[in-house]
Amino acid sequence: MDYALMQRVFPFFLEAAWITIVLSVLTAILGLTCAMLGTAARLSRFRMLRFIGATYVSVFRGTPALIQLFILYFGGPQIGIQLDAFEAGVIGLGVNVGAYMTETMRGAIISVDKGQGEAARTLGMSKWQAMRNVILPQAMRLMIRPLGVNLNTLIKSTALVAAISVVELTYTAQRYIGSTYKPFEMFLIAGLLYMIIIYVVGLAVTWADRKARLN
């Protein structure tokens, strides 16, 4: 192994890791937003909204994220959507992970005991008051861990945007391989940095989960 080379390129990988982190954070925010809307739609009393929610989930979970990115980035201009690679990456991955998170949130909400909502309604609360004060606080605790799993998947799938040439970790590794012909070293650095990001996020999720369970 060429340690000297690894040391030389490491600062550039750190910069790329920063891009991966920014990309992950923005994607997670967009994903959570989509998921809240998706969950509201899926649990709506309007059949049309339920249908839209279910279609969103099955389309975005039923096709490869890479194809979704390609359609958005390469196909977009054909229908008048001009995005730079980073924007396309955030939007493509965010909407994609939102579909998975929708199912996570919905699953947590519907697994809160039915008696909870009934007790709240019996006291005279409206559907929304019962949701807001009784069901959601309990569902939140149930969804932290599975949302953490979604987040983990999301961080790893940011590697896909290398395919539309966003200069994040994976793309950077590929670029240095082009000039150094050392794929083993380059991918090793990239993998290590992914691992650190994911480890830290995992710790945060575990911490949040434990904190939610304590009270």
Q: Which is nearer to other proteins, 66 or 212 (CB)?
A: 212
Cβ count within 10 A of residue 100? 22
Asked if 111 touches other proteins (CB under 8 A), the answer is no
Pick the closer one to other proteins by CB: 45 or 82.
45
Nearest to other proteins of 8, 132 (CB atom): 132
CA 99 – CA 105 distance, rounded (Å): 10
Can residue 129 be called a binding residue for other proteins (CB under 8 A)? yes
CB of 61 or CB of 127, closer to other proteins: 127
Separation of alpha carbons 3 and 95, rounded Å: 39
Least distance to other proteins, CB of residue 211, Å: 13
Q: CA-to-CA distance for 24 and 160, rounded, in angstroms? A: 12
What φ, ψ does residue 43 adopt, rounded to 5°? -100, 5
> Which range in 63-71, 90-98, 112-120, 159-167 contacts other proteins by CB under 8 A?
112-120
Report which residue type is found at 209: D
Q: Does 115 bind other proteins (CB under 8 A)?
A: yes
Residue 14 binds other proteins (CB under 8 A): no
Query: Would you state the torsion angle of the CA atoms of residues 184, 190, 195, 196, taken in this order, to the nearest 10 degrees?
Result: 130
**Residue 145 sits in the site that holds other proteins (CB under 8 A):** no
Q: Distance between CA 161 and CA 184 in Å, rounded?
A: 21
Q: Nearest approach, Cβ of 38 to other proteins (angstroms)?
A: 23
